[in-house]
C-alpha cells in the first residue's frame, strides 16, 4: 500500500507540474506584435507559449478517401478488428479490439488569425508529437464478418469469435480552430511552434485555452483524490500492524511479569521453609503437588484445584497453549 501511494503521488506531482506550467504559459496573439516580441526575447524564443489560430495548408491539402470536398492537413486511416474472446476464468465472452493497420499522412500547415485582417502566420512543427492532437472522425463503417455453421463451431472450440472490421478515417480539417501550446521560435523569417525542450507537454487541441486548463486541473484533482484515499488506506494498515505489535508486546510483557512473580514467590517459599521447596510443587500455588497433565501440550505443572481456578478459555501456565483435555496424575 505504501508503494501504491508513492506511485500515485508521483503521478499526481507530474500532473500538478504540467498544470502549473500550462497555467504559467505566456499567451500571445497572431498579430503584428508577435514578430517584434520574438525579436526582443532571449534567443528569439518563448519557451512555453499559448497561441490560438485557424488551420491553413501551406501547399497542397489532403483529400478524404470517403467524403467528397473534405480537405485536411492530417489524415489517419485505421482498420480495427473486433472479436469476442472466451475467458476461461470467468466463463464469459469478453470484447477484444486490436488495430491491425494504421496509416497517418501529414502535410505542412500554419496557424493563421481567425478574423480577416493583418497578421502573421505560425508554422506548426511535428504535429504528431502533440500530446492532444484533435482529429475529427469524418468516416466510420463497420464490416461484420460472415460466418458459416462450420466457422461458428470452430470459433467456439478455439475460444475466439470474430465480429468484424471497423474502418475509420480521422482528419484535421482546414479551417479548424486550434489552440497550440509549445515553444515559439523565430527562425529567419518563419515563426515556428514546436515541442518544448523543458519536458512540458506539446498541445494541439480544438479546445480553447481555458477549457484545456480546466481539463488538466480536473486530472490533477482526480489523481490527488486517489493519492489521499490510498494514503488513508496505508495509514489504516499501518495502524492495524502497530496495534497488533503493541498487543503482542503487552502479552510478552505480561508473561515476563508472571515469570518474575513466580520466581519471587518461589524465593519467598524457599526462605519460609528453610531453603527447601515442596517436591513436585504446583507452579501456581507452590504448595500443593502437581496432580494433572495438560493435553495437548503435555505439561505437568499444576494441581487440580489451581486448574479449576484458571480463567476461561483455560491455557497452560507454562506455554499458554489451549487445554483441550486434562488427565489425572497418580504418583506411586
Q: Taking residues 288-313, what's their average pLDDT? A: 86
Q: CA-CA distance, 130 to 51, in Å (whole number)?
A: 14
pLDDT at 57 over 70: yes
CA angle, corner 54, sides to 49 and 59, nearest 5? 105
Q: Is the pLDDT of residue 240 over 90?
A: yes
User: Is pLDDT of 165 > 90?
Assistant: yes
Is pLDDT above 60 for 276?
no
pLDDT band, residue 269 (cuts 50/70/90) = low
Q: What is the average per-residue pLDDT within 32-58?
A: 88
Element holding 244 (H helix, E strand)? helix 209-272
Q: What percent of the chain has pLDDT over 70?
A: 95
Torsion (CA) 30, 36, 38, 41 in degrees, nearest 10: -140
Question: How far is C-alpha 42 from the geometric centre of its chain's CA atoms?
Answer: 40
The partner residues of 72 in beta bridges, in order of sequence, read 62, 173
Average pLDDT over residues 162-176: 92
Neighbours of 230 (CB within 10 A): 19
CATH topology of domain 278-328: Herpes Virus-1 (3.30.40)
Q: Which of 96-110, 185-199, 253-267 has the highest mean pLDDT?
A: 96-110
Binning the chain into helix, strand and coil, the percentages to the nearest 5 are 35, 35, 30
SS3 134: coil
- CA distance linking residue 261 with residue 100, whole number of Å: 79
Which pLDDT score is estimated for 275?
A: 46
Look at residues 137, 135, 133 and name the one whose alpha carbon lies nearest to residue 204.
Answer: 133
pLDDT digits (tens, 9 = 90+) for 211-221: 889 999 999 99
The predicted pLDDT at position 321 comes to 87
Phi, psi of 208 (to 5 degrees): -75, 170
Q: Are 124 and 109 in contact (CB under 8 A)?
A: yes
Provide the pLDDT for residue 145.
86
Domain boundaries, the chain: 31-207, 278-328
Is the predicted pLDDT of residue 22 greater than 50, yes or no?
Answer: yes
Assess contact for 140 and 168: CB atoms under 8 A: yes
Residues 171-180: what's their mean pLDDT?
Answer: 91
- How is 25-61 classified by DSSP, letter by letter? PEE--SSTHHHHHHHHSGGGEEEEEEEEEEEEESS--
Identify the band that residue 273 occupies on the pLDDT scale cut at 50, 70 and 90.
low
Amino acid at each position: 500500500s505504501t508503494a501504491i501511494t508513492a506511485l500515485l503521488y508521483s503521478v499526481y506531482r507530474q500532473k500538478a507540474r504540467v498544470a502549473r506550467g500550462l497555467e504559467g504559459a505566456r499567451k500571445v496573439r497572431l498579430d503584428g506584435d508577435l514578430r517584434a516580441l520574438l525579436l526582443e526575447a532571449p534567443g528569439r524564443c518563448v519557451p512555453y507559449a499559448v497561441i490560438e489560430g485557424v488551420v491553413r495548408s501551406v501547399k497542397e491539402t489532403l483529400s478524404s478517401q470517403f467524403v467528397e470536398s473534405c480537405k485536411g492537413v492530417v489524415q489517419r486511416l485505421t482498420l480495427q478488428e473486433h472479436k469476442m474472446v472466451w475467458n476461461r476464468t470467468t466463463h464469459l465472452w469478453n470484447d477484444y479490439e486490436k488495430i491491425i493497420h494504421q496509416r497517418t499522412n501529414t502535410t505542412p500547415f500554419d496557424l493563421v488569425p481567425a478574423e480577416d485582417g493583418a497578421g502573421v502566420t505560425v508554422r506548426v512543427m511535428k504535429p504528431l508529437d502533440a500530446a492532444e492532437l484533435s482529429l475529427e472522425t469524418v468516416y466510420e463503417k463497420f464490416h461484420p464478418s460472415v460466418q458459416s455453421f462450420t466457422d461458428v463451431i470452430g470459433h467456439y472450440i478455439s475460444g475466439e469469435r470474430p465480429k468484424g472490421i471497423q474502418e475509420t478515417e480521422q482528419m484535421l480539417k482546414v479551417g479548424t480552430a486550434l489552440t497550440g501550446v509549445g515553444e515559439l521560435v523565430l527562425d529567419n523569417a518563419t515563426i515556428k511552434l514546436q515541442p518544448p525542450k523543458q519536458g512540458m507537454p506539446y498541445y494541439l487541441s480544438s479546445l480553447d485555452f481555458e477549457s484545456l486548463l480546466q481539463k488538466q486541473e480536473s486530472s490533477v484533482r482526480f489523481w490527488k483524490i486517489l493519492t489521499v484515499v490510498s494514503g488513508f488506506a496505508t495509514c489504516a494498515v499501518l495502524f492495524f500492524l502497530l496495534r497488533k505489535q503493541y498487543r503482542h508486546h503487552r502479552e510478552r510483557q505480561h508473561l515476563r511479569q508472571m515469570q518474575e512473580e513466580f520466581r519471587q514467590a518461589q524465593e519467598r517459599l524457599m526462605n519460609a521453609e528453610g531453603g527447601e521447596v515442596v517436591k513436585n510443587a504446583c507452579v501456581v500455588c507452590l504448595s500443593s503437588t502437581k496432580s494433572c497433565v495438560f493435553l495437548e501440550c503435555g505439561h505437568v505443572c499444576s494441581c487440580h484445584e489451581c486448574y479449576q481456578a484458571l480463567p476461561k478459555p483455560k491455557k497452560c501456565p507454562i506455554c499458554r497453549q489451549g487445554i483441550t483435555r486434562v488427565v489425572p496424575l497418580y504418583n506411586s
